[in-house]
Amino acid sequence: MAEYTLLYGHFVIRYPDLPKQGPEPDGDTMKFAPANQSLVWNTKLIPRRSGRAPKINRRGISVRLEAIDALETHFEGTHQELTGGKKARDTLLAKLGFTNIEYWENLPNKIKSANKDRLPGFVLSNGIDANGRLIGFVYSGSDGPGKDGATVTVDNELLGRSINTKLLSDGLVFPAFYGTLPIKLREHLSTESQAAWTAGKGIWPRATGLPTRPAEVSDLDSLTTSVIWPKLFRRLVVFIKETGPGLEGFEEWLREDGVDRDDKVFRLDTNENIRFHDILTIEDDTVALNLHPELIVIEPDPVDGAGQ
């Protein structure tokens, strides 16, 4: 069953006492201040499949939106195409109720001012990821499907109300399905994503690194305008920083680390358990997934795995 724990609280985009040290929201991650932090620490309600404890303090915890991956606006000192990354971020913030947002000129990912620093919302979560973040579906307001800490069965109607689904159905993010996502929910979200790319919505007309549209990757600069699956982008950034320009040796580099690089994945089209390198086609300085991302299920990191 698709059972999740309901957590009420506030989404936070700015610390008024530390305005230049606040959160850096993007299209798939938000700071959330639970009304009752003890619920997050309850492993019966919020499992820790990787073994990692929640990375939470008095200001809250980061929520990683379930099932989606937005273009990176900031990762390891670089980024993907900013037009698409900012569109996903701005849409997420708007759907949570934040308006009139201004960013610091010298800190372009931190918010200088907005209509509110925090707004009420709720999360439906089924666990903590390997980075200590809460994984969940996010919603604005306080009209949730139960009391704080309640176990909720998520059906397609409730799933469709989530901001995660809205970002996916508008083509503003890529799908990123993990093995902890219930099958029925994954199938519904897959249909939404397929409809978006078939209709040419959002990022899809510009997306590369796909089976029929390889991405050219020569160096880090070439990645700053990329519209590729963000998980692949993150691997490429680390690889090029470690080894230099070009893709020579990329597959071997992935294979060297079966936790933080060469994830276990499941191919839905062939029902095969394989590795991350198996879903890539690398030729000279081009790379592409050899299947569409909604056909990939990523296995969560094992205990003590850091993951990306």
Q: Which residues contact 291 (CB under 8 A, 6 or more apart)?
A: 211, 267, 269, 279
Phi-psi region of 51 (alpha: psi -120 to 50; beta: other; left: phi over 0): left
Amino acid 301: pLDDT: 72
Give pTM, 2 decimals. 0.96
Q: Are 61 and 133 in contact (CB under 8 A)?
A: yes
What domains can you pick out in the chain, each with its CATH number? 3-198 (2.40.50.90), 207-298 (no CATH)
Amino acid 300: pLDDT: 84
Residues in the chain predicted with pLDDT less than 70, given as ranges, are: 1, 302-308
Amino acid 303: pLDDT: 58
Amino acid 305: pLDDT: 42
Amino acid 1: pLDDT: 67
How far apart CA 45 and CA 258 sit, in angstroms, is 29
Rg (CA), the chain: 19
